[in-house]
Structure 1
Amino acid sequence: MKGESMDWVGLLGRVLMSAIFIWAGIGKAMAPAATMAYFAKDGLPVPGAAYAVALVVEIGGGILFLVGWRVRTAALVLAAWCIATAFVAHYHPGNREQMINFMKNVCMAGGFLQVLAFGAGRLSLDRR
């Protein structure tokens, strides 16, 4: 694959990578009390602040990444978010399912670091 078709592959990659964050952020926005209770259960000291940060990172960062505007900054923030949430929410070595989620977060961080290194591609607002 070359040229223009790879531009579409890059856009599809951004769509797929951003979808989980936008979806999760909207879910959190629709259930603030339940989300903050979950954050408290995970031991976060200020669940309300964590909730606000989660909305900004997941919805805001997800949308920026999707459209490819300031994508390198969004990729860095989302990579850091993936690692932070991997350790806070999913690092339970005795629980195979949680460790699979942990490794998925690590994998997503790797994908974001690739975008940080190489950019969003030609079909992005950064290129306009």
Structure 2
Amino acid sequence: MFNSLQNPLALASRLLLAALFLPAGIGKLTGFAGTVGYISSVGLPMPTVAAAIAAAVEVLGSLALIFGVGTRFAALALAFFTLVASFFFHAYWALPADKQMMQQLMFFKNVGVVGGLLALAAFGAGGWSVDARRSAN
């Protein structure tokens, strides 16, 4: 039964993961100054460059997932980006105990997202993708 669902589930996985990153990337572009300010607030160097890279990774990575083109690379790039960003922006361990809960939830949500992206990197985009079309030719 699951073999017959492999392609629709892979497509659903790609679309649902993209649904997390595409709006975030567009938000970074439309609110670029705010994104730069937020990155500055955690003390990262070159916040303007970091904001541009973050927006590009999220938007381009999402589009790659949606269409299933370069899926494995896009999933790895998004996984790396998400894991690194989680340590800087959801560092619950550095907060007072009464302020840890939300950031801890966000951190571990991101860890779960990284797991899904790594599975996508491992198993590929599925048959309903540009990647599958390219390999069939």
Deviations 1:31-64 (A, max 9, x none): 1111100110011111100011011100001110
Q: Which runs of 4+ in 1 moved over 4 A?
A: none
Which of 87, 93, 111 does residue 106 from structure 1 map onto? 111
| Letter paired with 2:12 | L
| Letter paired with 1:8 | P
Structure 1: stretches of 5+ with no match in the other structure: none
Q: TM-score normalized by structure 2? A: 0.89
User: Where does residue 79 of structure 1 map in the other structure?
Assistant: 79
Shift of 1:91: 1.5
User: Where does residue 62 of structure 2 map in the other structure?
Assistant: 62
Q: TM-score normalized by structure 1? A: 0.95
1:24 aligns with 2:29: no
User: Where does residue 50 of structure 2 map in the other structure?
Assistant: 50
Structure 2: stretches of 5+ with no match in the other structure: none
Counterparts of 1:82 and 1:54 in 2: how far apart (Å)? 10
Counterparts of 1:41 and 1:2 in 2: how far apart (Å)? 46
Q: State the percentage of identical aligned residues.
A: 38
Which of 121, 130, 134 does residue 125 from structure 1 map onto? 130
Counterparts of 1:58 and 1:86 in 2: how far apart (Å)? 14
User: Where does residue 116 of structure 1 map in the other structure?
Assistant: 121
User: Where does residue 88 of structure 2 map in the other structure?
Assistant: 88
Larger Rg: 2
Shift of 1:85: 0.9
In structure 1, the residue corresponding to 2:92 is in which secondary structure? coil
| Letter paired with 1:42 | V
Shift of 1:6: 2.9
Aligned residues, how many?
A: 128
Shift of 1:5: 3.4
